[in-house]
Amino acid sequence: MYHWIFSARMNRPILTEKCLCVVCYANARVTNRYISLEPFGEMMRFLVPILKTLALVILTTTLWYLAFWYMPASPGFAPPIHVFIIDNLNLIVHEAGHFFFRPLGTILYFMGGSIFQILFPFGIGVFVFFKWRELTVYPLFLTGWNMCDVAVYISDAPYKMLHLIGKGTLHDWNFLMTKLHLMDDAVLIGAIVHWSGVLTGLSAIGMGVYYVIQDFRYS
């Protein structure tokens, strides 16, 4: 039986029995190939929740580290490589916060780095929540991470042990606590921010566990 098929090279339809046979053979190969990939497709259904589970394990161990072992002000501080990388990215966001808050006065300028460092991932989380809800886990966790980082900065205000980005750089929270007459409460305020960050990280992990359970249930 003859059928019209389109030849891209000749830019017009042609009618040949030979081409019909080639098309049928190609369709048969695609069909067979699709059937042969079915076991792989079944495996892929479980691979995604498994990868999400591994990501949650990494987040959990990182949160444990942030909660009990994250002490950048201590001598010889040597964080895991992923903590080192994220901390340096957070530092860029922190410095951007100073730039954005500069027009708002001296107090908000010095506070702006820490505020923006927390609000930036939180804002991403709010956006992602309404678009790809399952991915909210990661910016929410990063929000908690930044709260722990800011808490170190606040608690260091009376001691100024942190290594800042340059010599002669003014310590944000030493200036703020002095200006606001809160230096005696700096460690307490830092502890509150720290454990609030840990709870935020736990909330993110709990959300991730919920979605992984749903993935395994419906896969």
Split at pLDDT 50, 70, 90, the class of 182 is very high
* Cα(58)–Cα(56) distance, integer angstroms: 5
Q: Which residue has the tokens 């042969």?
A: 36
Total tally of structural domains belonging to the chain: 2
70 and 116 share a domain? Answer: yes
10 and 103 share a domain? Answer: no
Q: Structure pTM? A: 0.79
Split at pLDDT 50, 70, 90, the class of 42 is low
H/E segment holding residue 105: none
Spatial CA neighbour of 207 closest among 123, 125, 118, 105: 125
Give 11: exposed, middle or buried? Use CB within 10 Å, 0-12, 13-18, 19+.
exposed
Q: 94 with 117: CB under 8 angstroms?
A: yes
H/E segment holding residue 189: helix 186-218
> In Å, what is the CA distance from 141 to each residue of 48, 65, 78, 96, 101?
20, 13, 22, 20, 24
Spatial CA neighbour of 49 closest among 209, 182, 205, 169: 209
Split at pLDDT 50, 70, 90, the class of 39 is low
CA angle 91, 96, 97 (to 5 degrees): 95
H/E segment holding residue 77: none
29 and 58 share a domain? Answer: no
DSSP state of 163: -
pLDDT at 40: 56
* Cα(111)–Cα(88) distance, integer angstroms: 19
pLDDT at 165: 82
CA atoms lying within 13 Å on the CB side of residue 27: 6
Average pLDDT of every residue of the chain: 84
110 and 16 share a domain? Answer: no
49 and 32 share a domain? Answer: no
218 has pLDDT over 90: no
pLDDT at 17: 46
219 has pLDDT over 90: no
Q: Which residue has the higher pLDDT, 165 or 172?
A: 172
Separation of CA 54 from chain center: 15
151 and 110 share a domain? Answer: yes
170 and 210 share a domain? Answer: yes
Q: Dump pLDDT digits (tens) for 94-140.
A: 999 999 999 999 999 999 999 999 999 999 999 999 999 999 999 99
H/E segment holding residue 7: strand 4-7
148 and 182 share a domain? Answer: yes
24 and 51 share a domain? Answer: no
User: Residue 97 is part of which domain span?
Assistant: 41-218
Average pLDDT over residues 199-216: 94
Residues 182-202: b if buried by 16+ CB within 10 A, e if exposed: eeeebbebbeebbeebbebbb
Express as a percent the part of the chain with pLDDT over 70.
79
